[in-house]
Chain A
Amino acid sequence: MEKRGITRRQFLKYAGATAALLGLSESLIPEIARALEEAAAGKPPVIWLQGQNCTGCSISLLNSNYPMIAEVVLDKLSIRYHPTVMAAAGDVAMKAIEETAKEMAGKYILVVEGPVPTAEGGEFCTFGLEKETKAFHGYQRRKDKPMTAWMEELVPGAAAVVAVGNCASFGGIPAANAEVTGTKPVMDVVAGIAKDKPVINIGGCPAHPDWIIGTILDYLINKKVPELDQHKRPKKFFGMLIHENCERRAAFDAGLFLEDWNDYNPDMKLCLFKMGCKGPVTYADCPIRRWNSGVNWCVGANAPCHGCAEPAFYKDLSPLYKPLPNMHFPGLSTLPDNLGWIAAGATAVGIGAHYLYKQLGKKEEGGEK
């Protein structure tokens, strides 16, 4: 290990960071250190593909605080292909994928950011070049290689597939145009190539850096897919309801709602429910984990949660700044003005069902811990 420039002491430090990240007991630190050391003996190879993405999840990954992103890149993972950070371009970059796929078959983790458009032979998202050529302004020019072809090549040899962000996980915003582009979530494309290949969905628009790194490390340490909810999201990060852990819950219970952004009381920060907060239907650990090195989070900025970690985001949670309808909360007799607004549709049924379960004191499957 020393020859890689990483000391035993550093491994213990990383193990501490990893334990904190995953919410594990400190007594596990030596064990994690061993697993990380073992993993880093040949750093686990990662191929990170970008489909119909916006690179927001990659930028979010760069915001990682603990472990710092430099440690992730230099010490923890072997980032064989990542279009935003890698030195190589063109054929040299393609070679990095091809060699990893061949030499590391069965070992590499395939990370996908953005969903996969399948219409028109995959022409709506291409990168890299085929050997075949086609006439172009008097030349023979190599054809574009579609994302779908890369998935066919790389899914079978992947140890696991990690879909990063809401678009890769559930189709997200690009899927709204699916009738034109044939956009599919990564899990659907993977299922069509290798039925039993494990897929982990990391929701969020964007995904939190801890969710991304934590999930990958969890997989490497335990050598198995972590416990997932019904949307294939790790329960560790997506097991808690925002509303139940919100720092402004006391204001909600007291019926103190923000209705004018000029009202500010530092002693009792107002609840954003009437401004459309989707915290009551969103499972994610934002209230305790917070964002950008713990500096803030959406509700902390006096703004509603938009529910970006849920499969229903964006379309089925719109309008974002209107209160959730048909909610019966304890201690709140009057309801927001636009009753019945979402009354139809599967999402509403889901939301309603959740609250019904809550009120009956039952536990919804895949819900709270």
Chain B
Amino acid sequence: MGQLISIDPVTRIEGHLRIDVEIENGVVKDAWSSGTMFRGIEMLLKGKHPWDAQQVTERICGVCPLVHGTAASYNLDDAMGVELPDNARLIRNLCLGANFIQSHILHFYHLAALDYVDVTAVAKYTGNDPALNALKAKIVGLVKANDVYPFLPRYESGDYVSDPELATVLVSHYVQALEMRKKAQEMLSIFYGRMPSFVGTIPGGVTTPPTVSNIAAFRSRLEELRAWIDSVYVQDILTVAQVSAYAPFLTLGDSGGNYLAYGGFDEDSQGKEKFLPRGVIFGNNVAQVGEMDEAKITESVKYSWYKDECEGLHPKEGKTEPDVHKEEAYSFLKAPRYDGKPMEVGPMARMLVLAGHELTGKRPEMLMGLVKKLGLGAALDACVKAGKFGILPRHAMRALECKLLADRMVEWLDQLKPGEKIWDSKGKDIPNESYGRGLVEGPRGALGHWIHIVGKKIENYQAIVPTTWNAAPRDKNGNRGPIETSLIGLPVPDPDNPINVVRAVRSFDPCLACAIHVIHPEHNGVKVFRVV
């Protein structure tokens, strides 16, 4: 038996996550992922006016409000039989896209990059660039004052990028990225009022009509972001991926090879055609994308702090009764499974499903064209051959998705028609009884919202959230969750500095506030149902 290392808090993610790893001979042999904060938001919604759902559910998470609000809008549209006007569909795509851009930039630079770049190397910069020298002066100042928070302390490791020239450029991009992600938020607020906690979607459509001036304001920011994504974000990923010390991360950090995507960004008013397709992949067999069947989703609670009678149900019927004294449990997350299998969701899942569609001729080449253009073909082949997609592909897929989406957004913007409808007034006609469903893709993966309306009020509301899939604990058969599996085999030469463990965890971009959502049946009178 090896040594148990506990990492709590795992920082630079959203929320409260604890990771325990068993180390033997300097390598991770086993792993446990624990969500350690519980709220119970959903009980708020029972008996409320259905329109409140999107304002409440977007507050499940301040990092992902956009995707919850969007899922809630589609869910309510469905319950009310809305015919979504094209302008509304396009504005929803544009705003969700803007949120993907801000989220992906934030993730790489502000959440992940400090795992790879040595900020203190900036002090050794010797070049002539005035902006980089100004940055150097700041960092030198911080080092001299012995106050380099929040960049130090950190896990120490011999393989940080420490070449002064390269490190300085990357750190300057960290600073630029703060402004870039902010611009993406501004872009979104043009139509949606503000971020976080936006107000611009409603059942039946959106609130802000497209005008010549707001389209122009959106476009100017989008073009600036597109140029930056192409010339900085995508290039930085390629640069970091080429650091020889990181070569093993091409395949290390594989989640087990099962992927799930609901599909996202409607290309027609019924949402039949999606910009990012839906599908499932098993065992890293990218060439074989299966149909996604929602009925195959169940949740296990054997290792979760909930009573055992909640075991094995479809989330829609799932019960959630907390039991913080349960002996073998170690997480507030349940363990969702598809056909009994743990599934990774998020940019890697979406891009592999898209690649599968392109490789089998179901879609024209888009992603694969980009992969070739950027010279990533050999790396992709190596992953396919090894049957493993690790930490680096997870970062790269996120950046490629960001680029594809930003490019497509220009076309959606061109399709907006000022003066035409933005709202179907059926959205305000609440049926006496109705069911709704909204399945979307968020930056972190597949998200579903479900509603049951009775007597024009919310009887039942639930959400199944991306990080619940990725950061799930073991299920009743002992299968590890995707993040847990991704840690097995990682080298941890120094137990006091388990940098590779947090590198792998962060590559999933976990969001724990979303992932832990629970209802309390005894207290709100809802017997079957949970979430959010």
Q: Is A292 an interface residue (CB 8 A)?
A: yes
Q: Is the CB of B330 within 8 A of A136?
A: yes
Q: Is the CB of A297 within 8 A of B12?
A: no
Chain B residues positioned under 8 Å from A298 (CB to CB): 193-194, 199
* B:141-191 near A, CB below 8 Å: 141-142, 144-145, 147, 149-155, 175, 178-179, 181-182, 185-186, 188-191
Chain A residue with the shortest CB-CB distance to B88: A261
Q: How far is the CA of A123 from the CA of B191 in the complex (A)?
A: 41
Q: Is B207 an interface residue (CB 8 A)?
A: yes
Q: Is the CB of B190 within 8 A of A295?
A: yes
Q: Is the CB of B44 within 8 A of A5?
A: no
Q: Is the CB of B142 within 8 A of A4?
A: yes
Q: How far is the CA of A147 from the CA of B517 in the complex (A)?
A: 19
Q: Is the CB of A293 within 8 A of B202?
A: no
Chain A residues positioned under 8 Å from B189 (CB to CB): 291-292, 295-296, 301
Q: Is the CB of A314 within 8 A of B208?
A: no
Q: Is the CB of B147 within 8 A of A87?
A: no
Q: Is the CB of A87 within 8 A of B43?
A: no
Q: Is the CB of A78 within 8 A of B59?
A: no
Chain B residues positioned under 8 Å from A117 (CB to CB): 38
* B:33-83 near A, CB below 8 Å: 36-41, 43-44, 48-49, 51-52, 55-56, 59-63, 65
Q: How far is the CA of A266 from the CA of B419 in the complex (A)?
A: 11
Q: Is B422 an interface residue (CB 8 A)?
A: yes
* B 493-506 binary contact with A (CB < 8 Å = 1; else 0): 00010100010000
Q: Is A179 an interface residue (CB 8 A)?
A: yes
* A:255-303 near B, CB below 8 Å: 260-262, 264, 266, 291-293, 295-303
Chain A residue with the shortest CB-CB distance to B41: A173
In the complex, which of the residues A58, A138, A176 contacts B43, with contact meaning CB atoms closer than 8 Å?
Answer: A176
- A183 CB to closest chain B CB (Å) equals 8
Q: Is B426 an interface residue (CB 8 A)?
A: no
Chain B residues positioned under 8 Å from A85 (CB to CB): 12, 110, 150
Q: How far is the CA of A297 from the CA of B197 in the complex (A)?
A: 11
Q: Is the CB of A318 within 8 A of B49?
A: yes
Q: Is B322 an interface residue (CB 8 A)?
A: yes
Q: What total of chain A residues lie within 8 Å of the partner, measured CB to CB? A: 99
Chain B residues positioned under 8 Å from A137 (CB to CB): 32
In the complex, which of the residues B9, B138, B197, B199 contacts A5, with contact meaning CB atoms closer than 8 Å?
Answer: B138
Chain A residues positioned under 8 Å from B9 (CB to CB): 83, 89-90, 93, 127-128
* A:304-332 near B, CB below 8 Å: 304, 306, 308, 314-315, 318-322
Chain A residues positioned under 8 Å from B370 (CB to CB): none
Q: How far is the CA of A179 from the CA of B315 in the complex (A)?
A: 24
| Contacts A5-B137, A86-B11 given; does A56 touch B63 at CB 8 Å | yes
Q: Is the CB of A180 within 8 A of B8?
A: no
Chain B residues positioned under 8 Å from A58 (CB to CB): 62
| Contacts A79-B149, A262-B421 given; does A84 touch B192 at CB 8 Å | no
Q: Is the CB of B145 within 8 A of A56?
A: no
Chain A residues positioned under 8 Å from B423 (CB to CB): 260-262
B-side interface size class: 35 or more
Chain A residues positioned under 8 Å from B149 (CB to CB): 45, 78-80, 86, 96
Q: Is B520 an interface residue (CB 8 A)?
A: yes
In the complex, which of the residues B55, B138, B175, B425 contacts A75, with contact meaning CB atoms closer than 8 Å?
Answer: B138
Q: How far is the CA of A81 from the CA of B12 in the complex (A)?
A: 11
Q: Is A174 an interface residue (CB 8 A)?
A: yes
Q: Is the CB of A50 within 8 A of B193?
A: no
- A316 CB to closest chain B CB (Å) equals 12
Chain A residues positioned under 8 Å from B59 (CB to CB): 54, 56, 173, 205, 314
- B454 CB to closest chain A CB (Å) equals 16
Chain B residues positioned under 8 Å from A127 (CB to CB): 8-9, 16, 18, 36-37
Chain A residues positioned under 8 Å from B324 (CB to CB): 120, 123-124
Q: Is the CB of A95 within 8 A of B153?
A: yes
Most chain B CB atoms below 10 A, which of A54, A63, A138:
A54
Q: Is the CB of A297 within 8 A of B193?
A: yes
Q: Is the CB of B182 within 8 A of A63?
A: yes
In the complex, which of the residues B13, B140, B147 contacts A43, with contact meaning CB atoms closer than 8 Å?
Answer: B147
- A114 CB to closest chain B CB (Å) equals 9
Chain A residues positioned under 8 Å from B498 (CB to CB): 90
- B89 CB to closest chain A CB (Å) equals 15
Q: How far is the CA of A63 from the CA of B51 in the complex (A)?
A: 28
Total A-B pairs in contact (CB under 8 Å)?
A: 303
- A1 CB to closest chain B CB (Å) equals 9
Chain A residue with the shortest CB-CB distance to B20: A141
Q: How far is the CA of A282 from the CA of B200 in the complex (A)?
A: 19
Q: How far is the CA of A115 from the CA of B43 in the complex (A)?
A: 17
Q: How far is the CA of A119 from the CA of B523 in the complex (A)?
A: 15
Chain B residues positioned under 8 Å from A124 (CB to CB): 37-39, 324
* A 1-35 binary contact with B (CB < 8 Å = 1; else 0): 00111100000000000000000000000000000
* A:131-185 near B, CB below 8 Å: 136-142, 144, 173-174, 176-177, 179-181, 183
| Contacts A55-B62, A173-B41 given; does A291 touch B150 at CB 8 Å | no
Q: Is the CB of B194 within 8 A of A291?
A: yes
In the complex, which of the residues B145, B153, B523 contacts A180, with contact meaning CB atoms closer than 8 Å?
Answer: B523
Q: Is the CB of A296 within 8 A of B193?
A: yes
Q: Is the CB of A180 within 8 A of B155?
A: no
Chain B residues positioned under 8 Å from A80 (CB to CB): 149-150
Q: Is A129 an interface residue (CB 8 A)?
A: yes
- A262 CB to closest chain B CB (Å) equals 5
Q: Is the CB of A173 within 8 A of B154?
A: no
Q: Is B513 an interface residue (CB 8 A)?
A: yes
Q: Is the CB of B513 within 8 A of A53?
A: yes
Q: Is A60 an interface residue (CB 8 A)?
A: yes
Q: Is B7 an interface residue (CB 8 A)?
A: yes
Chain A residues positioned under 8 Å from B36 (CB to CB): 125-127, 144
- B323 CB to closest chain A CB (Å) equals 10
Chain B residues positioned under 8 Å from A62 (CB to CB): 106, 110, 178, 181-182
Q: Is the CB of A69 within 8 A of B178?
A: yes
Q: Is the CB of A63 within 8 A of B43?
A: no
Q: Is A353 an interface residue (CB 8 A)?
A: no
Chain B residues positioned under 8 Å from A249 (CB to CB): none
Q: How far is the CA of A135 from the CA of B11 in the complex (A)?
A: 25
Chain A residues positioned under 8 Å from B6 (CB to CB): 90, 129, 141-142
Q: Is B139 an interface residue (CB 8 A)?
A: yes
Q: Is the CB of A302 within 8 A of B8?
A: no
- A214 CB to closest chain B CB (Å) equals 17
| Contacts A79-B150, A181-B40 given; does A318 touch B61 at CB 8 Å | no
Q: How far is the CA of A259 from the CA of B41 in the complex (A)?
A: 31
Q: Is A203 an interface residue (CB 8 A)?
A: no
**Closest A-B pairs by Cβ, 10 of them:** A56-B62, A5-B141, A301-B193, A291-B194, A4-B141, A177-B40, A303-B199, A319-B49, A87-B154, A261-B423
* 23 chain-A/chain-B pairs, Cβ below 8 angstroms: A54-B60, A54-B63, A55-B15, A56-B65, A56-B197, A63-B195, A79-B150, A80-B150, A84-B13, A87-B153, A89-B9, A93-B153, A127-B36, A127-B37, A180-B523, A262-B209, A291-B193, A296-B193, A296-B194, A302-B207, A314-B52, A318-B52, A320-B52
Query: Besides A180-B322, A301-B191, 7 other CB < 8 A contacts?
Result: A50-B15, A54-B60, A79-B150, A86-B150, A260-B425, A261-B423, A303-B193
